[in-house]
Amino acid sequence: MSTKDAMIEFRDVHKYYGDYHALRGITATIRPGEFFSLLGPSGCGKTTLLRTIAGFEGISSGAVLVDGRDMSGVPAHKRPTNMVFQSYAIFPHLSVEENVGFGLRKDPRSSADKARAVGEALEMVGLKGYCKRASHALSGGQRQRVALARALILKPKVLLLDEPLSALDKKMREQMQMELIKLQRQVGITFILVTHDQEEALVMSDRIAVMFEGEIAQLADPETLYRRPNSRKVPNFIGTMNFLPAKILQESARAVEVDVAGFGRVNVDAQQVMACASGESATVGFRPETLTVLFDPSAKSERESMATIEEVIYFGDMTYYDVRIDGTGTPVRISMSNVFGRQVLDIGARVRVGWSLGALVLFR
Amino acid sequence: MKVHALRSYTIAYLVFLYAPIILLPLFAFNDSKVIAFPLSGFTTTWFITMWKDQSLWTALKNSLVISISVAVFSTTFGLFASRAATRFEFPAKGAALGLIMLPLVLPEMIVAMSMLVVLLAIGVPLSIFTIILGHVLLCTPFSTAILTSAFQSLDQSLEEAAMDLGETPLSTVWLIVLPLVMPGIISSVLICFTISLDEFIMSYFLGGNEPVLSTYIFGQFRFPARVPAIMALGTILVCLSITLLAIAEYFRRRGIAKSGGKDTGGFL
Amino acid sequence: MLKHNGAGKRQSEAVSGWLLISPTFLYAGLLLAAPLVAVLFYSLTLKDVGGFSLDNFWEVWTKPIYQKLMGRSLNVSLSVTAVTVLLAYPVAYFVSFHVHPSKKSLWLFLITIPFWTSYLIRVFLWKVILGYNGVINSGLMSIGLIDAPLQAINYNVQAMVLTLAHAYAPFAILPIFVSLEKIDRSLLEAGRDLGENKFLTFWRVTLPLSMPGVIAAVLIVFIPTVGDYVTPDLIGGGKLPMIADMIEVMMLKQNDRHMGSAIAVTAMVIVAIVSLIFLFLNKQFLRGTK
């Protein structure tokens, strides 16, 4: 494979801890300059995979390549990657300046040049003038920035971020997400982020690998992941998806015709047809926002069904309605923006629900 | 009301703890050869008597040689054991650590006698050296315990971060691990030193005819006339150990402040 | 291409771990394990005759003199343990529950200071306090409360128990304090909330949760006092010999390593059995309160 468009390459990577199979044949490519996320629930192997890049975990078989070079046998301190740790790992006995300049110890530059580099790195992460601070006096957000400056000052080919925002509160986290995106664009280095927060991954990444139980379930850009998940597991982890059983009637190269309880006969475009896990029967899936409660009696929709409201969950800007479409067994969720002047409906109300064919994904 | 009773009880308990120690200076400065009430007047004679006793100085010199060696060796052994215990998984780890910590749960007399039997059997002459051997065995568990807690509070990702930033495993130990466990090392050295200085049974049985501070004191008790001078010596020792303890506490607190932790009190 | 191997990495970790622990382990093996094995060997062989036999143990266990000494040692150690732990528990409880967190280290500091003064001198001071012409007798006589020295307070088992209870006080307080500190305070509030009064909350929540500390305190006090040498000599005036004296007499004065070893091994077995009983009782107690 050409290494020009691969900054990181995993070739059938396996990792065993004793009998436990932590990584089960990971094969993937991460492009130069990309903001890449490894997303998955805890224990799915995402952190282990990140640590095989940094060199903190050996692999049982396969290969990890960084910038075209096989990393087997290369110890952590000789790899062209740097890491921001979940706990930040700020050296408590060193000042901010000493922390940021830690990796420059063997750098042949003069100490004045190094001090300038430290100053620039701190300025880049918005900590100008913090040089002499004691590191234990920093707040969580500031520690995060010091850890970033400390890793970026070495100009690594890849920056590895192990759940870097999980220890911050919601507001700080959202602010740091934006700053990280800007920083990545500014330095142009490949960022690899490990996170269990689907929203964070969607907001920040160019591409996301969703991992379950040591395997990559899907690797795609955020929109594809959201709109065309390739299995039922993925949309269960990223956002919410409604599922209704479907019966396959006819299939051609371009579309599959199915009978969906409550929706009737529909044609699903071949692009929207995904394989489901063995043992599962065919289902159609659709996101809550692709259905609409038709408040206005004159409103039209591509397709519509009648339904009864079973539960109302009010969020302020949004309302979730759990409705039972006539002829179905399980309720489905609809999310509606709350428009000024429009009343929130009550449980038991009969409503018209509008939907469109393009929103359906068929798992078969 | 109940809290009040508890508080009074605790204060009474402290009086019980301190009662003997308060008597030390009282009789050290009392102008009488007999340790009894009523007190008969102020004198510093006993301090001068003590100071002029040549055998005390010999014992003290021996004791210092022993305690300093023991502090250094026990802490070194403790460093090896505690680092292995906190950083690595290996078969029979529990058994190995169990053997190392065993002296904590064996009556000292039995450890001393077992060593003595073997030393005599293989013909090692009893000396300061054999005392050191015994004391190191006794102090290593304390050192291991102190240093294990120091290593445990060391976040492993700090070491990984240092290696990630280009340091070798060895330079990581030097630049990150040792500075951060230094407070633990210092308190281990101080505690091993104190235990060794105070230890009697091993010094008595494994030392042959070499006097050390504790056996010197024990010997003096046989002569009632020497007792007031021992009170004077005791007074000085109490002042010294409080100073040492305060230093140890200072380093412990500085260690906590450095790593940004909270003071949970008590360093044993 | 180099291949990493999971098992290989674990093996290298095991090797590093063993290499690192080996200096300390070898030291303990050479100077502790080997002598203990030697003592066990001596105890199982006969003086002059040689050959394996249980005769030494038979003698230790059946001769009245040994039985009496063992009994006294065990009696003193158990009394010291009981007195020390019972006296220490309220102190640990007070410091943990009723002292402001910022003052706790100061209190612990105050409790540990006496412990850091010479053990020998502390024991001797009790002799001075309790002796026939000691501080208490001379003090009481000088203020006219008594005419002749009290004899009930010196050179007896009670005096030894008091002295040892003083010497081991911090060893008992610290583990109990640590276990009390670990108790989540909201559990006690939950206990009160569920309708228990203060005493029952203590009995059903605080005490069981602090039991590991109490057991640690019991073992830390019991084990060393069994082999104590200084106190019987100084406080008991040599008139109340215990196990340690007996081992010394056999090993050094009568030069009978075999009998001395048999006594030492017996002492170790007794210590081990009593410790196991305490650990077992702790388990039973914890189960009983559930």
Tell me: the pLDDT tens digits for B79-115? 999 999 998 888 888 899 999 999 988 888 889 989 9
User: Which run of H or E residues covers position A248?
Assistant: strand A242-251
Residues shown for chain C: 290
- How close, in Å, is residue C244 to chain B by CA atoms? 6
Assign B266 a pLDDT band (cuts: 50, 70, 90).
very low
The secondary structure of residue C195, as a DSSP letter, is: T
Considering chain B, what is the average pLDDT of its residues? 86
Q: Number of C-alpha atoms within 13 angstroms, CB side, residue B73?
A: 21
| pLDDT score for A264 | 86
- Within 8 A by CB and 6+ apart from A72, the residues are A59, A63, A64, C1, C2, C3, C4
Write the residue in B3, B99, B205 that is nearest to C98 by C-beta. B3
Q: Strand order in A303-314's β-sheet?
A: A292-294, A350-355, A303-314, A318-325, A332-337
Which 3 state secondary structure label does DSSP give A332?
A: strand
* Res. B267: pLDDT tops 60: no
Nearest CA in chain B to A150: B165
- Within 8 A by CB and 6+ apart from A73, the residues are C2
Mean pLDDT of A53-78: 91
| pLDDT score for B264 | 43
Q: Could you say which of 3.40.50.1110, 2.40.50.140, 2.40.400.10, 1.20.120.1150 is the CATH number of the domain covering A242-364?
A: 2.40.50.140
Q: Which residues of A touch B158 (CB under 8 A)?
A: 89, 91
| pLDDT score for C83 | 93
Determine contact: A103 vs chain B, CB below 8 A. Answer: yes
Nearest CA in chain C to A56: C9
Q: Which residues of B touch A81 (CB under 8 A)?
A: 164
| pLDDT score for C10 | 61
- How close, in Å, is residue B168 to chain C by CA atoms? 16
Strands A273-274 and A361-363: what pairing? parallel
Nearest CA in chain C to B12: C91
Token match 């903190």: residue? A56
Compute how many other C-beta atoms are within 10 angstroms of the C-beta atom of residue C280. 10
Q: In this predicted structure, which of A241-255, C29-43, C71-85, C249-263 has the lowest mean pLDDT?
A: C249-263
| pLDDT score for C240 | 77
Domain with CATH 1.10.3720.10 in chain C: 54-288
Q: Which residues of A touch B180 (CB under 8 A)?
A: 92-93
**C4/A58 touch (CB, cutoff 8 Å), yes or no:** yes
**B140/C122 touch (CB, cutoff 8 Å), yes or no:** no
- How close, in Å, is residue C8 to chain A by CA atoms? 9
| pLDDT score for C154 | 67
**C6/A72 touch (CB, cutoff 8 Å), yes or no:** no
- Amino acid identity at A183: L
**B107/C226 touch (CB, cutoff 8 Å), yes or no:** yes
In degrees and rounded to multiples of 5, residue C217 shows phi and psi of -60, -45
Q: Could you tell me what percent of chain A has a pLDDT over 90?
A: 54
Listed ranges A117-121, C10-14, C190-194; the one with the highest mean pLDDT: A117-121
Nearest CA in chain A to C6: A60
Chain B interface disruption, residue of A85, A86, A160, A192, most B CBs within 10 A: A85
Give A210 or B30, the one with higher predicted confidence: A210
Write the residue in B14, B38, B205 that is nearest to C110 by C-beta. B14
* Res. B149: pLDDT tops 60: yes
User: Which run of H or E residues covers position C137?
Assistant: helix C135-142
Q: Could you tell me what percent of chain B has a pLDDT over 70?
A: 93
| pLDDT score for A4 | 61
Write the residue in B161, B257, B259 that is nearest to A89 by C-beta. B161
In degrees and rounded to multiples of 5, residue A79 shows phi and psi of -90, 145
Assign C202 a pLDDT band (cuts: 50, 70, 90).
confident
Question: From CA C9, how far away is CA A16, in angstroms rounded?
Answer: 10
Mean pLDDT of A330-337: 91
| pLDDT score for B234 | 87
**B176/A75 touch (CB, cutoff 8 Å), yes or no:** no
**Interior CA angle at A346 toward A342 and A350, to 5°?**
95
B240 burial (CB, 10 Å; 0-12 / 13-18 / 19+) is middle
Compute how many other C-beta atoms are within 10 angstroms of the C-beta atom of residue C86. 12
**A60/C6 touch (CB, cutoff 8 Å), yes or no:** yes
| pLDDT score for C9 | 56
| C-alpha A281 chain-centroid distance | 28
* Res. C2: pLDDT tops 50: no
Determine contact: A183 vs chain C, CB below 8 A. Answer: no
Assign A130 a pLDDT band (cuts: 50, 70, 90).
confident
- B30 to B36, B37, B237, C158: CA distances (angstroms): 10, 10, 18, 29
- How close, in Å, is residue A17 to chain C by CA atoms? 6
Question: From CA C202, how far away is CA C16, in angstroms rounded?
Answer: 47
In this complex, the chains that touch C, judged by 3 or more CB pairs closer than 8 A, are: A, B
Give B163 or C251, the one with higher predicted confidence: B163
- How close, in Å, is residue B81 to chain A by CA atoms? 23
Domains annotated on chain B, with CATH: 55-258 (1.10.3720.10)
- How close, in Å, is residue B251 to chain A by CA atoms? 14
Give the A window 130-159 contacts with B, CB below 8 Å: 136-137, 150-151, 154
Assign A153 a pLDDT band (cuts: 50, 70, 90).
very high
**A15/C6 touch (CB, cutoff 8 Å), yes or no:** yes
Q: Strand order in A61-66's β-sheet?
A: A20-30, A8-17, A61-66, A69-70
Question: From CA C211, how far away is CA C207, in angstroms rounded?
Answer: 6
Q: Could you tell me what percent of chain C has a pLDDT over 90?
A: 13
| pLDDT score for B65 | 95
- How close, in Å, is residue C19 to chain A by CA atoms? 21
The secondary structure of residue A145, as a DSSP letter, is: H
* C-beta of residue B77 within 8 angstroms of C-beta of residue B143: yes
* Res. A273: pLDDT tops 90: no
| pLDDT score for A67 | 92
* Res. A283: pLDDT tops 70: yes
Considering chain A, what is the average pLDDT of its residues? 90
* Res. A184: pLDDT tops 90: yes
The residues pairing with A209 across neighbouring beta strands, listed in sequence order, are: A38, A219
- B165 to A19, C91, C260: CA distances (angstroms): 32, 50, 60
Report H helices in B29-121.
Answer: 45-52, 54-87, 93-101, 108-121
- How close, in Å, is residue A73 to chain B by CA atoms? 14
| C-alpha C282 chain-centroid distance | 17
CATH class of the structural domain A1-80+190-239: alpha beta
Question: From CA B239, how far away is CA C206, in angstroms rounded?
Answer: 38
Mean pLDDT of A278-290: 85
**C20/B38 touch (CB, cutoff 8 Å), yes or no:** no
Assign B258 a pLDDT band (cuts: 50, 70, 90).
low
Considering chain C, what is the average pLDDT of its residues? 82
Q: Which residues of C touch A18 (CB under 8 A)?
A: 6, 10
| pLDDT score for A8 | 94
Domain spanning C54-288, CATH architecture: Orthogonal Bundle (1.10)
**A58/C1 touch (CB, cutoff 8 Å), yes or no:** no
Tell me the per-residue pLDDT of C86-132, one tens digit each, with 9 for 90 and over: 999 999 999 988 888 888 888 888 888 888 778 888 888 888 888 77
* Res. C5: pLDDT tops 80: no
Write the residue in C17, C98, C139 that is nearest to B93 by C-beta. C17
* C-beta of residue A176 within 8 angstroms of C-beta of residue A165: yes
Enter the ipTM: 0.84
Give C57 or A178, the one with higher predicted confidence: A178
| pLDDT score for A278 | 66
In this complex, the chains that touch B, judged by 3 or more CB pairs closer than 8 A, are: A, C
* Res. C1: pLDDT tops 70: no
Write the residue in C2, C4, C6 that is nearest to A17 by C-beta. C6
